[in-house]
Structure formats: C-alpha cells, structure tokens
Amino acid sequence: MKQANHLGACMVLLIFASMLILSACGSGGGAGGSDIGKISYAPENCEIDGQNRFVHKVMLDTYYWYKEVPTSLDYSSFSSPEEVLDFVRYYPEKDRFSYITTTEQFQGFFEEGKFIGLGASFLILTDGRLITRFVFPDSPAARAGVARGDEILTINGKTIKEITDGLLWDSIFGEDKEGVAVELEVKFRDATIKTIELVKEIVTIKTILHSEVIERNGVKVGYFVFNAFINPSAAELETLFADFKTAGVTELVLDLRYNGGGLVSVARILASYIYGNNSGSEIFVNFNHNDRYPHWAWNYHFSPALPDRLNLQRIFVLTQPGTCSASELVINGLKPFIEVVQIGQKTCGKPVGVYGHEFCGKRIQAIEFETTNHNNNGGYFDGIQADCSALDDPTQLFGAADENLLATTLGYIDNGTCPSVSVASRRALQQQQETVLPELYQGFRREIGAF
C-alpha cells in the first residue's frame, strides 16, 4: 500500500497477500517531518555488486528489524539483490512480506490498476483441487469463459499435484510478458472439461468485483466484494457509496476475503465512508519505526469531507487468511469507533508496512514501520481472529444465497449472534486451519493476488 503524508513523503504500507501496498500523496497526517521515509544514499553503480550493497545498506538502516540483519556479507556470493533480500530479511519469524519488483510493475499496478497476466485468481483447497476465486472483466481468462468456481485440472500440461510437489507455482505460468501463452485444462461449473490457451496481455483491474443491495426483513443491506486498495479504487468507491446512500442502506457487509492490501489513502477513504460521523480529528492509523528513526513517528486521520458517507455504527467484514495489509488496517482502524463483526477466518497478520526505495529501475519494498490504531492497538502478527467462524467456498458465486460467508453474515443480521456451526463444518474448518497449503502468490504477485 502506498501512501503520502501532508508533508509530502510518499509512503507505501505493505500489509500483504499477497499480497499489499498503500500509496498516496495528500493531507490528513500529524507529527513527523519532511524527511519521513527518505534515505540520503543511492547505489554506487547498477552492477550486481552495487545493487547488492545498496539492498544490504537499506536493510541495515531503515528496515524495521535491522538488528536481525547480518552486518557483513560476501556480496560476490549473491547473483542478484533479490537473493540478498531473501537471505537477510527476518524470515520466517516476522517478515513474509518484503520483496523487490520493477518500478514499472509497481507504478502500473498501484497507480493505474494494470498488470500483465491472464486476469484470473485461484485457490488451492485442502483436497488439492485448484479452484478459480475470481476473474477480472475483459481479461483473457474472462473472454475464454473462465469464471468463479471453475476447476483448473492442469497448467501447461502439469497436474496441480505435480506443480505443488515440484515447487513450480512461481514459474508455471511463464514470464510476465505480453504474448506469453498458457495452456489450461478447465473443468467448468457445468462439469464440461475443455483445454484452452490464454495469452497474457495488459489486464485492467476492477477492484469492486461484485455489489448489490439485499432486502432482509425490511433492512437494506449493502454488500460488496472489494479486492484491492489502489488509486482507481477511489472512483469506484465514490460511485458505490453514492448508490448505497441513495438506496437507504443501513447495514453494510464488506467482503475482503481476497483483498491483500494496497494504498493507505484508499484504506482511509473506505473507512471514512463507513465511519463518517466525525470531524476528521480522530486518528485512523499511527506509524512507528525502528529505534534509529523514532522522529519519523506520525499519524493519519479519517477524512471529514465525504458527502456519501453512511455514518454506520456497525459493519460486517468477511475475511480469510488472504485478507491482509490495508484490509487489516481498515478493520483495526474502525474498531475504536464502531462495532466491527468479523465473519470467516483470521486474517494474514501484517501490521507493518514500507516506504519503498527505488534503485536501478527497481523498487525495494522492505518493512519499515509498524501500525497501530487510535487506541494504539496493533501487533496482530498472528492475524485478527474472526468473531464468527466460516469457510470460504469458491464454488459458490458471490452474492448467492447459499454462499457460506454471506449466508453466515445474513444469519447474524437476522438473529444478532453467530449461527450455530454443524459438527461437519467445524471439522472442515479445523482441517482448513491445520492444513499447510502452498503459497501461490509470492513477492509482488502477492500484491496482485492473480495471474
């Protein structure tokens, strides 16, 4: 997530998972100085050795856990700055999130909402099946008829088990370049099986994947699936909340199950549409740094100037382990002010973020700060626990009456408590929580959450 404060320091809050970056340049902060997030050094050169030295220097300086980084390295033993970062980051104890990407990819995604790919997102179930979570409109996958709930049987001739056993998820879809072809064997929802070839192209992201107003016992419930906090999201949210306001929505269900994060500025906008009965004086998020930069501490307030804010006293948020970064920021930031009822599973656990530093056409996104809310609560490295447990079922369409997360939420709205869970469902939930599934989305791919 990328964010800028009122003093002009562009910052990124990476609270990933998969993927997360917060980016913004605007007002609403307090404290700190114009040097926030800035470093005074650059690579000596753009040879591999120069890049390796630069990454190590950043990790020994502004990195939140710099004390865990080895102070000396044999730079010639690393073939890339990415290898240096993977070697020195505080993994697996805290840092699953730091990565390096190209400046072009970073700006294309967070500023323009574009990436090169097929436009489809997938999920591995505990039984080993690969199911389509969602598809971006007008993407190669969408035009080929792939949709939520479709099962992928093979990718480029390899079964899902072969890909997982061979640790091939980072490479099986090929290079992220326009024109790269990918062959998928797909079992569609109607049980037909077909082999299709998709060709990668520039995909434009729609961050609101589904929205509707549900009439429930005389109550108008706004429901929407929000997938990423990026710059184009602001316009989508403006239109959505104007529609919800006009429709007379009094309950809101915010579906963040697949949202890996994004821009702090957009997280602030979303939270302010929900909790709008304020003057902008309340703190949305505090930023705290390592002991080399305590003077960088500052905060970011809710926005007071959104005409279609709903002024709610309660919100329902749907979460799964992929709910990360800015998504968790919204949940934690709202808790001091309104009731937040969380349905699903615990979130990914990323109360930290980055400013990001460019070098040699690349950008290092290494963790540089930790966040807390108005009450200084944070530290959810183990994830934010759900109030009502429920499993995601990607075979059911968004908004369907029997889609498990939404049905559980509507049951709570009807009865004021978590619906009872069957023994079978409880066992399935426990199995889901105990099963270690392969991570499909690594590094920058975690931000996008799709291929």
CATH at residue 155: 2.30.42.10
- Which of 153, 188, 187, 158 lies closest to 174 in space, CA to CA? 158
Q: What is the pLDDT at residue 436?
A: 60
Domain check: are 197 and 218 in the same one?
no
Specify if 291 maps to a domain: no
Q: What is the pLDDT at residue 281?
A: 85
pLDDT exceeds cutoff 80 at 162: yes
Number of C-beta neighbours around residue 13 at 10 A: 36
pLDDT exceeds cutoff 70 at 128: yes
CA separation for the pair 326, 342 (Å, rounded)? 15
User: Alpha helices of 60-151 — where are they, by DSSP H?
Assistant: 81-88, 103-112, 140-143
The secondary structure of residue 66, as a DSSP letter, is G
Six-digit token string for 152:
């992928």
State the average pLDDT for the chain.
90
Which of 12-16, 324-328, 354-358 has the least mean pLDDT?
Answer: 12-16
Q: Give me the residue label for tokens 């001091």.
A: 336
Domain check: are 16 and 81 in the same one?
yes
Burial classification of residue 173, based on how many CB atoms lie within 10 Å of its CB (0-12 exposed, 13-18 middle, 19 or more buried):
buried
Domain check: are 339 and 219 in the same one?
yes
Query: pLDDT-derived band of residue 442, with 50, 70 and 90 as boundaries?
Result: confident
Share of the chain above pLDDT 70, in %: 88
Domain check: are 385 and 251 in the same one?
yes
> Are the C-beta atoms of residues 231 and 113 closer than 8 Å to each other?
yes
Q: What is the mean pLDDT of residues 208-214?
A: 98
- Which of 115, 102, 141 lies closest to 204 in space, CA to CA? 115
**Range of 402's domain?**
208-284+297-349+373-434
Q: What is the pLDDT at residue 17?
A: 31
Q: What is the pLDDT at residue 28?
A: 47
Domain check: are 227 and 171 in the same one?
no
Q: Which of 91, 109, 127 is the last residue of a domain?
A: 109
CATH for 408:
3.90.226.10
CA separation for the pair 41, 57 (Å, rounded)? 9
Specify if 363 maps to a domain: no
Q: What is the pLDDT at residue 9?
A: 36
Domain check: are 244 and 383 in the same one?
yes
Domain check: are 195 and 221 in the same one?
no
Q: What is the pLDDT at residue 313?
A: 95
Q: What is the mean pLDDT of residues 318-331?
A: 97
> Are the C-beta atoms of residues 349 and 380 closer than 8 Å to each other?
yes
Q: What is the dihedral of CA 41, 44, 49, 53, to 10 degrees?
A: -20
Tens-place pLDDT, residues 56-103: 999 999 999 999 999 999 999 999 999 999 999 998 889 999 999 999
Domain check: are 325 and 393 in the same one?
yes
Q: What is the pLDDT at residue 4?
A: 38
Specify if 360 maps to a domain: no
Q: What is the pLDDT at residue 92?
A: 82
Domain check: are 105 and 9 in the same one?
yes
Q: Give me the residue label for tokens 């114009």.
A: 34
CA separation for the pair 409, 411 (Å, rounded)? 5
pLDDT exceeds cutoff 90 at 16: no
Domain check: are 279 and 311 in the same one?
yes
CA separation for the pair 228, 202 (Å, rounded)? 17
Specify if 450 maps to a domain: no
Q: What is the mean pLDDT of residues 21-47?
A: 68
Tens-place pLDDT, residues 300-323: 999 988 989 999 999 999 999 999
Q: What is the mean pLDDT of residues 338-345?
A: 98
Q: What is the pLDDT at residue 14?
A: 40
Share of the chain above pLDDT 90, in %: 80
Q: What is the pLDDT at residue 431?
A: 62
Q: What is the mean pLDDT of residues 108-120?
A: 98
Specify if 355 maps to a domain: no
> Are the C-beta atoms of residues 15 and 371 closer than 8 Å to each other?
yes
Domain count, the chain: 3
Tens-place pLDDT, residues 396-439: 999 998 999 999 999 999 999 998 865 556 666 566 555 566 78
Specify if 194 maps to a domain: yes
Domain check: are 17 and 47 in the same one?
yes
Domain check: are 61 and 122 in the same one?
no
Supply the pTM of this predicted model: 0.91
Specify if 439 maps to a domain: no
Query: pLDDT-derived band of residue 287, with 50, 70 and 90 as boundaries?
Result: very high
Specify if 449 maps to a domain: no
Q: Is 421 helix (H, G, I), strand (E, B) or coil?
A: coil
Q: Which of 109, 143, 164 is the last residue of a domain?
A: 109
Burial classification of residue 387, based on how many CB atoms lie within 10 Å of its CB (0-12 exposed, 13-18 middle, 19 or more buried):
middle
Tens-place pLDDT, residues 276-285: 776 678 999 9
